[in-house]
Amino acid sequence: MNYYQEWAKNNKEKIKEYHKKYYSENKEKYKENAKKYFLTERARKMRSERRQKYRAEKRPYENRNLYRKEEMERGQKNKALVILKYGGVCVCCNESNKKFLTIDHINDDGKTHKDNGKTRLKGMRLYTWIIKNEFPNDLRILCFNCNIGRRNNKGECPHKEIVPC
């Protein structure tokens, strides 16, 4: 080990402080050089390689259709489980065809219902969230007609207004 390596090994904090001070004094210079580097061919190639590696890790299947099919199957299983746990029929009109059944927020707060305050929960993400949160009590099953009817009728289902002739 030469003299500098020995000195650097024994003075790590001193070096760290020096670099911190130098960076704060030359911040604009660093930013300018970073922009120049970002536009170079070498940087583009590195970003491309990182992106390919990330995608390969996230999607291990060569066939994307297989991956999508498995995602759809998992989503359908989650939806079936949620519908079963909440009774399996529309609470308003007793519709039991699973293709028509949807989740309804009892307090009409579905628009504000967000995951970690960022994304609105809808579709398969909503069913996954319900399972992770152990089937909250402020949700129920309605058929699509009753759900949309409630939205358009200020919270009342049109089935309740039907009067026989």
pLDDT digits (tens, 9 = 90+) for 7-27: 888 999 999 999 999 989 998
Is 139 part of any domain? yes
Total of domains in the chain: 2
Domain check: are 75 and 152 in the same one? yes
Is 143 part of any domain? yes
Q: What share of the chain is helix, strand, coil (3-state, %, to 5)?
A: 60, 10, 35
Domain check: are 93 and 151 in the same one? yes
Structural domain boundaries enclosing 97: 69-161
Domain check: are 155 and 136 in the same one? yes
Q: Please give the pLDDT value at position 70.
A: 83
Which range of 8-17, 29-38, 61-70, 145-154 scores highest in mean pLDDT? It is 8-17
Whole-number mean pLDDT of the chain? Answer: 83
Can you tell me the mean pLDDT for 146-157? 82
Neighbours of 126 (CB within 10 A): 20
Name the helix (H) or strand (E) containing 18: helix 12-25
Q: Please give the pLDDT value at position 60.
A: 61
Domain check: are 149 and 88 in the same one? yes
Is 108 part of any domain? yes
pTM tops 0.85 = no
Domain check: are 50 and 111 in the same one? no
**Domain ends where: 30, 58, 86?**
58
The pLDDT confidence band at residue 114, using thresholds 50, 70 and 90, is: low
List b or e across 57-75, with b for residues whose CB sees 16 or more CB atoms inside 10 angstroms. Answer: eeeeeeeeeeeeeeeeeee
